Amino acid sequence: MEFGRYQKAAVKTLQGAGTKLDSIVVPLLGLLGEAGSVASAYKKHLRDGADRPIGKQQVREELGDVLWYAATLADSFGLDLDDVAAASLEKAKQRWRPSEPTEPLLDEHFPPAEQLPRRATFTFTPTARESDGRTVVVLSHDGKPVGDPLTDASTIDDDYRYHDAFHLAYVAVLGWSPVMRALLKVKRKSNPAIDEAEDGGRAVAIEEGVSALVFSYASRHGFFDRLQHVDNELLQTIMTMTAHLEVSTCRPADWEQAILTGYRCWRTLTAQNGGTLEINMQERTMQVLPAN
C-alpha cells in the first residue's frame, strides 16, 4: 500500500479529535505511547529471555500502531506521508552514504593551474625552532615548504601543529580547502567572484574555524581513536557554517569521512613524529606512507 492512500484511510478512523488542538495532541500522545510499547515489548524479552519470546506478529502490530499515529499526526500538520517518507530517505542518504568518487570535483572546470592537486604527497617534518627551542612542523610538497612552520599556538602541547592534515583531508575527500588553495597558490583568479567568495579570506577563516571546532570536540573523545562516527550535532554545525560555500553540496556523510580520515592520519603522524601523506582526490582517500 502507498503511504498516501494509507494516510487518507487512517485519518478517516481518527476518533475524539473535535478541535484542531485535539487533532494534534491525540495522535502525538498516541505516537509516544505506541513507540514506548515497542520498546517495552523488547525490554521484557531482554529481561526474561526465552521465557518471553517477542513474536513477529507482536512487533508488526505495535509498529502498525506507530505508523497509524504518525499518519494522522502528519495530516494534522498538513504534511503528506509520501513526502515525509521520501524526505526521511534523503536525509538518511545524506547522513550515511558518502558521495560517489565519480561525482565531479568542485574545480573540475577550471584551468589545471587553478585546480587542487589530484594526487600528491605532503611531508610533515618536526624541528626545533632556533629562537626558543619550541617544536614546529614544516609542511612541504615536492620538496618545497608550504606555508609557515606551525607550532601548537597554545600553552598546551596538543600536537595541533600537525593540523594541516585536516585541511589535506578536506582536499582529498571533499575536494575543497580554501586554506590549501592559498598555500599552494591555486586560487581561482580566472573568476574574480569565485576567487573572492570561495577562495578568499572569509572562506579561509571558516575552514580554520571548522578545524578548530572539530579539534576541540576530538580532544574530548580520544581524537576519534575508538569512534566510528561523528556526532550529528557537530556535523550539522559544520553544515551551517559552510552553507553559503560551494562545499555545501557535500553531504554530512562526506564530512564525517573527511574528519575521520584526517584524524586517522593525524594520529599516525603524531605517534611517529612526522611522516608523509598521500592524497588521491579521484578516489577520495588519504594515507600515511610507510617510512623509508
Per-domain boundaries in the chain: 3-96, 112-288
Q: How far apart are CA 226 and CA 88, in angstroms?
A: 29
* Consecutive 10-residue averages of pLDDT for the chain (292 residues): 91 72 80 86 78 76 91 91 94 92 92 97 92 90 92 92 98 98 97 98 98 97 95 97 97 97 98 97 96 75
Which triple of cell numbers denotes residue 4?
498516501
- The pTM score is 0.87
> To which H or E segment does residue 288 belong?
strand 285-288
What pLDDT was estimated at residue 17?
57
Q: Nearest-CA neighbor of 183 among 237, 243, 138? A: 138
Q: How far apart are CA 200 and CA 205, in angstroms?
A: 9
Distance of CA 120 to the CA centre of its chain: 24
What pLDDT digit, counting tens, does each position of 95-146 carry?
999 998 888 999 999 999 999 999 999 999 999 887 888 899 999 998 899 9
What pLDDT digit, counting tens, does each position of 231-250 carry?
999 999 999 999 999 999 99
Report yes or no: 31 and 69 within 8 Å, Cβ to Cβ.
yes
Q: How far apart are CA 198 and CA 90, in angstroms?
A: 27
Which triple of cell numbers denotes residue 276?
608523509
What fold is seen in the domain 3-96?
Answer: Helix Hairpins (1.10.287)
What pLDDT was estimated at residue 23?
74
What pLDDT was estimated at residue 16?
61
